[in-house]
A and B are shown apart, each in its own frame.
Chain A
Amino acid sequence: MDNLTAEQVKNLLLQVADTVIAAKEKLCEADRNIGDGDHGIGMANGFEAARTALEAQEFDDVYAVFSTVGRTMIRVMGGASGIIFGLLFYAGAKNMPPQGVISTAEFSTIFAIALSEIKTKGQAQLGDKTLIDGLQPMVEAMQDSVAKGEDFRALIHTAALAAERGKEASKSYVARYGKAKTLGERAVGYPDAGCVSLTVICGAMDSWAQETLAD
């Protein structure tokens, strides 16, 4: 599978939305350990609005699918996660000329741009116990996969595994950002809630790819 169509990207992100909404309580719990416990509420609200926005229209531009999801999340969610997860889908798509299909390399680039913009805006680095701890290894794994010429199934599966590894690694970090940063050593042992969300998002993409895309 060399390319995804706009319709496929829409279905992919609808599956992501449904999965995140279903994971609301799990995400609140992850946040409650070291934050204020509302992460799942915001994520579920954001993806409910994104799903509504996706279902309301037909897309012939793959980038419009991503930017619709991201901009909707930024508009409705608020909080740090509204900007950060909104940018995950919006930053790499907003300035792209329209096109009907997306390659593995272009798909990977969306997340690479998002990583760069989230780092700049949030001023967080790897090891600060933020989304970056999952997103950076994920982007690096995707770039490796593209360089090896792997297909979409392999690309998305590799991304999901890397995000999972990043989430596990985030457990050992002291938070230097966000509401957990005042906890110091007390945050060690818990994963960053944003990293947990990223694994849910990637897990949903992986399930969709395994179910939908032929070998």
Chain B
Amino acid sequence: MVKKVINNPKDVVQETIEGFLLMHPDEFRQIEGNTAIVKTRLDPDKVGLVIGGGSGHEPIFLEFIGTGYPDAVAMGNIFAAPSPDIVLAATQAADRGQGVLYVYGNYAGDNLNFDMGAELAEMEGIRTETVRVWDDVASAPPERISDRRGIAGDFFVIKIAGAACDAGLNLDEVKRVTTKARDNTRTMGVALYPGTIPGEGTPAFTLAEDEIEIGLGLHGEPGVRRGKIQPADVLVDEMMSLVVADLPFKAGDEVCALIDGFGSTTRMEQMIAMRRMLQNLNRLGIKVHKAEAGAYATCQEMAGFSITLMRLDNELKKFYDWPVWSPVYKNRQG
């Protein structure tokens, strides 16, 4: 059994939400009877932004809420999509008569539950649109891009969507900009150690001491293939070559770049990966507008890291730099 700082495993989702809300009592509140939260103050007449997904990946999705960030977050059980009823509650809480955009990772469970949530919302007279994030290049070939999973690229796409809503764009325009962000974002990850479900003893997969899982799943599900652990520069080079070739990113492009350490990879390792990533981008003639490192989309104890690039144009750059305040981004805005 993995040692964890929890109480009853049945209570982890609710207690996580309670902890977050007690930290930010004035900004956010729980939507009664649901594992969903909403901002206490919503600007009138703006498109609502609702995100969500399984719990256990914090800070995503729970803490991705704030000014210029999503208005409401629908949380499911550990690694499981929120039910349609939770999605509906978040939608009703976020709607200000201008409709609601859903942004979430492209997984069967999220797709099914958000789609049914959208059906329920429509019956309540709320118009919704959806952008599914599918940035994981390891999870399907380019010709089946809509089969790909959403991983750390969620961060970039949600950030753009939040800014576009805050800027007062209408629902169709917010969807267009968010789709553009999604279509210009690519990620590749590796896992060094697996994660576990809180309260369950067995990891979702096991790795030999010298093995890594390439193309990890964010839920502890196995990746696409096994390989031997390599020096950081070799890993970064291989991951980047897949990311860069996939879009493809070209000399003269301007990008935002992200190292996600999944919460269990140290800051030191993140910086070592960052160093090589930025050196490579420089060598490729790709200009870096902003580089970020930290824990974004995590999976409990899972260690490893992912590299995400988002190609910018002037519009995406403007929204990336939009002044925002969120618990996950308050010190790094603008």
Residues in A lying within 8 Å of B, measured CB to CB: 28, 32, 34-38, 41-42, 45, 74-84, 121-122, 177-184, 186
B112→A42 contact, CB < 8 A: no
- Judging by beta carbons under 8 Å apart, are B138 and A82 in contact? no
Can you list 11 A-B pairs with a CB-CB distance of less than 8 A? A36-B219, A38-B78, A42-B77, A74-B83, A78-B80, A79-B54, A79-B79, A79-B113, A80-B81, A82-B80, A122-B112
CB <8 Å contact, B113 and A82: yes
Query: In the bound complex, do residue B79 and residue A36 qualify as a contact, i.e. CB atoms below 8 Å apart?
Result: yes
Interface assignment of B233: CB less than 8 Å from any CB of chain A: no
Would you call A78 and B113 a contact (CB within 8 A)?
A: yes
Chain B, interface size: which category?
Answer: 35 or more
Instruction: Give bound CA distance, A42 to B292, whole Å.
Output: 35
* Chain B residues near A76 (CB-CB < 8 A): 83
Known pairs A177-B108, A181-B147; A75 contacts B85 (CB<8 A):
yes
**B77 engages A74 (CB within 8 Å):** no
Contact in complex: A83, B113 (CB < 8 Å): yes
Main secondary structure of the interface of A (DSSP, over half): helix
The segment from B220-228, B240-248, B283-291 that touches chain A is B220-228
User: What residues of chain B have their CB less than 8 Å away from a CB belonging to chain A?
Assistant: 54, 76-86, 107-109, 112-113, 115-116, 138-140, 147, 149, 197, 200, 202, 204, 215, 217, 219-224
Task: Report the separation of the CA atoms of residues A181 and B108 in the bound assembly, to the nearest whole angstrom.
Answer: 10
Q: How far is the CA of A93 from the CA of B306 in the complex (A)?
A: 45
Please tell me which one of the listed residues B81, B85, B222 contacts residue A79 in the complex, with CB atoms under 8 A apart.
B81
Across the interface, which residues of B come within 8 angstroms of A122, CB to CB? 108, 112
A74 touches B80 (CB 8 A): no
A88 CB to nearest B CB, Å: 13
Q: Which residues of chain B have C-beta atoms less than 8 A from A83's C-beta? A: 84, 109, 112-113, 116
In angstroms, Cα B222 to Cα A95, docked, is: 40
Bound-complex Cα distance A98 to B160 (A): 49
Q: Which residues of the partner chain B approach A183 to less than 8 Å between Cβ atoms?
A: 222, 224
CB-contact partner of A178 in B80, B108, B116, under 8 A? B108
Which B residue's beta carbon lies closest to that of A121?
Answer: B112
CB contacts (< 8 Å) of B202 on chain A: these are 32, 37
A76 to B81, CA, bound (A): 11
* Chain A residues whose C-beta falls within 8 Å of the C-beta of B138 in the assembled complex: 182
Would you call A78 and B109 a contact (CB within 8 A)?
yes
Q: Bound state CA distance, A45 and B80, in angstroms?
A: 12
Per the bound structure, the CA–CA distance linking A213 and B14 in Å amounts to 43
Q: How far is the CB of A211 from chain B (nearest CB, A)?
A: 32
Kindly provide the distance from the CB of A3 to the nearest chain B CB, expressed in whole angstroms.
32
A41 contacts B221, CB within 8 Å?
A: no
A35 touches B84 (CB 8 A): no
